[in-house]
């Protein structure tokens, strides 16, 4: 498939296979879902009292480990999927997988309150791929807020579904239309994408969702934050009436509940959230007076030995680019990620960061969403976030998987 050996992430194989064609998903242009940083349209920042940026990390609370009630072998899914799970090194299901997969396999709608890092992707991917393999008339749509998250989902689906013969199309903004159009002509079993680009295809008449009977909305809260609500409703209205839905969100709020009520039937609710991800992050502020002192202070912080892997946030595409260039000129191993960069450039920067070839990644908020890199030690807010909610999302990038993290926020004296 798609999940064939020749298919690679950035150089996808021929045909409507997972991820498109050679040359697909490489460079920019088109509508961006993962941008961020337009100066003119930026609303005024919410005032956040600097005291809210200072907080000691709470000592890790001893919680009894979750005891799964299933093993992967117990689940009634295809042997090929089971083998691929073994090959991925998954031994026991995570709590969300343990609770969601049996219902998912029974065709139930599922609402999962779960953040990144909980294994939620496999929780919806396994039942979805199993159904696609069992029923060749089924089709699945997976929507995510950002290109990066869509790519991560694609990776997970590709490895879980390796050898299944299923086909897919990846419909994300910032990638050329040509390969996406070609993939869609092959009538793929699975479509993964961001709402803006999916809607574009529907409006062009190149994507007909009437036969799609499995739908996943991942990180619903972020999609709503990013203003995708109208696009989401537009898309959901076009799916098959008989369908199975998976909705995942890190938070639950009235707008999300409303969406769930409208678009799911008697869903199973599963919550594996254990509190805000920022609790194990040591938070402090850095005072500066003037731009010169600001960059010098950042320089000194980055030079400290324990500041090993750092995500630095700044406001705009331009400021992110400039700051990254400045840090490189000062000898730091840095790169930038923002919506003005091509998809290929963004993926390369992320990979460098993941593989520790650089240890400083400068980012806009939107470009950094959905990034799951477990060993980030520090988040630095070189500029204050737009809202406190953005702040919590930013600093949650450090301190993943129970590790202690650090957050420093620059405040002008
Ligand atoms: P997710 O929350 O889906 O982004 O998954 C977070 C990380 O956990 C990813 O790197 C997955 O590959 C990994 N993962 C998911 N499920 C399991 C499992 N059952 N056992 C071990 N690792 C897993």
Q: Distance between CA atoms of 218 and 226, rounded to whole angstroms?
A: 13
pLDDT of the chain along its 413 residues, tens only? 333 222 222 222 323 343 333 333 333 333 333 333 334 456 778 788 888 898 888 755 555 667 889 999 899 999 999 999 999 999 899 999 999 999 999 999 999 998 777 899 999 999 999 999 999 999 999 999 988 899 999 999 999 999 999 999 999 998 999 999 999 999 999 999 999 999 999 999 999 999 999 999 999 988 998 889 999 999 999 999 999 999 999 888 889 999 999 999 999 999 886 545 567 789 999 999 999 999 999 999 999 989 999 999 999 999 999 999 999 999 999 999 998 888 788 889 999 999 999 999 999 987 777 677 878 999 999 999 988 878 888 888 887 666 678 999 999 99
DSSP character for 394?
A: H
Q: What's the CATH fold of domain 276-412?
A: Rossmann fold (3.40.50)
Mutational pocket test of ligand 1: of 71, 119, 156, 372, the residue with most ligand atoms within 8 Å of the beta carbon? 119
Ligand 1 pocket, residues with Cβ under 6 angstroms? 90, 93-94, 97, 116-122, 372
Which two three-digit tokens encode residue 36? 């961020």
Residue 122 CA to ligand 1 center (angstroms) comes to 7
Tell me, what's the pLDDT at 21?
A: 31
Of all atoms in ligand 1, which is nearest to the CA of residue 114? 2
DSSP character for 98?
A: H
Tell me, what's the pLDDT at 31?
A: 35
Assess whether the region 72-271 and the region 276-412 belong to the same CATH fold: yes
For residue 12, is it left (φ>0), alpha (ψ between -120 and 50) or beta? beta
Q: What is the largest CA-CA distance in the chain?
A: 64
The answer for residues whose C-beta is within 8 angstroms of residue 383's C-beta and 6 or more apart is 313, 314, 315, 319, 410
Residue 96 CA to ligand 1 center (angstroms) comes to 10
Of all atoms in ligand 1, which is nearest to the CA of residue 88? 12
Q: Are 405 and 398 in contact (CB under 8 A)?
A: yes
Of all atoms in ligand 1, which is nearest to the CA of residue 156? 12
Q: Where are the domains of the chain?
A: 72-271, 276-412
DSSP character for 55?
A: B
Residue 222 CA to ligand 1 center (angstroms) comes to 20
Report how many helices (DSSP H) and strands (DSSP E) the chain contains, helices first.
14, 13
Task: Render pLDDT for 323-364 as a digit per residue (tens, 0 to 9).
Answer: 999 999 999 999 999 988 887 888 899 999 999 999 999 999
Residue 119 CA to ligand 1 center (angstroms) comes to 4
Tell me, what's the pLDDT at 405?
A: 87
Of all atoms in ligand 1, which is nearest to the CA of residue 90? 20
Tell me, what's the pLDDT at 388?
A: 83
The strand order across the sheet containing 405-412 reads 281-288, 405-412, 378-381, 310-313, 360-363, 334-337
Residue 241: how many other CB atoms lie within 10 Å: 6
Distances (CA, A) of 355 to 89, 156, 302, 374, 375: 20, 18, 18, 12, 11
Residue 25 CA to ligand 1 center (angstroms) comes to 24
Q: Distance between CA atoms of 133 and 161, rounded to whole angstroms?
A: 9
pTM metric for this prediction: 0.66
Mutational pocket test of ligand 1: of 85, 94, 192, the residue with most ligand atoms within 8 Å of the beta carbon? 94
Q: What's the CATH fold of domain 72-271?
A: Rossmann fold (3.40.50)
Q: Distance between CA atoms of 168 and 239, rounded to whole angstroms?
A: 17
């Amino acid at each position: 498939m798609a999940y064939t050996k020749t298919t690679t992430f950035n150089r996808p194989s021929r045909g409507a296979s997972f991820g498109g064609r050679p040359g697909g998903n490489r460079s920019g242009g088109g509508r961006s879902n993962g941008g961020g940083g337009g100066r003119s349209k930026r609303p005024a920042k919410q005032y956040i009292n600097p005291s809210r940026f200072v907080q000691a990390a709470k000592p890790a609370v001893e919680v009894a480990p979750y005891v799964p009630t299933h093993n992967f072998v117990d689940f009634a899914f295809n042997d090929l999927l089971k083998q691929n799970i073994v090959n991925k090194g998954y031994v026991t299901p995570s709590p969300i997988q343990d609770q969601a997969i049996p219902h998912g396999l029974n065709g139930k709608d599922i609402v999962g309150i779960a953040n990144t890092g909980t294994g939620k992707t496999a929780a919806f991917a396994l039942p979805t791929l199993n159904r696609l393999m069992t029923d060749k008339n089924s089709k699945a749509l997976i929507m995510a807020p950002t290109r990066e998250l869509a790519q991560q989902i694609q990776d997970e689906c590709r490895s879980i579904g390796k050898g299944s013969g299923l086909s897919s199309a990846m419909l994300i903004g910032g990638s050329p239309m040509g390969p996406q159009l070609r993939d869609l002509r092959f009538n793929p079993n699975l479509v993964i994408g961001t709402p803006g680009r999916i809607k574009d295809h529907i409006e062009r008449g190149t994507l007909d969702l009437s036969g799609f009977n499995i739908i996943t909305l991942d990180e619903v809260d972020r999609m709503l934050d990013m203003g995708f609500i109208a696009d989401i409703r537009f898309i959901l209205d076009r799916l098959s009436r008989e369908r199975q839905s998976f909705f995942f969100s890190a938070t639950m709020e009235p707008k999300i509940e409303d969406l769930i009520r409208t678009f799911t039937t008697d869903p199973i609710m599963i919550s594996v959230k254990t509190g805000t991800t920022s609790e194990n992050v040591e938070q402090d502020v850095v005072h500066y007076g003037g731009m010169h002192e600001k960059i010098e202070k950042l320089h000194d912080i980055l030079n400290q030995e324990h500041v090993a892997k750092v995500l630095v946030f700044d406001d705009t595409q331009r400021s992110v680019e400039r700051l990254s260039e400045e840090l490189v000129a000062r000898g730091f191993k840095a790169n930038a990620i923002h919506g003005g960069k091509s998809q290929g450039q963004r993926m390369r920067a992320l990979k460098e960061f993941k593989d520790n070839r650089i240890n400083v990644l400068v980012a806009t908020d939107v470009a950094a969403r959905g990034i799951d890199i477990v060993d980030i030690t520090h988040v630095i807010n070189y500029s204050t976030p737009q809202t406190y909610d953005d702040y919590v999302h930013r600093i949650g990038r450090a301190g993943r998987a129970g590790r202690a993290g650090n957050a420093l926020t620059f405040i002008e004296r």
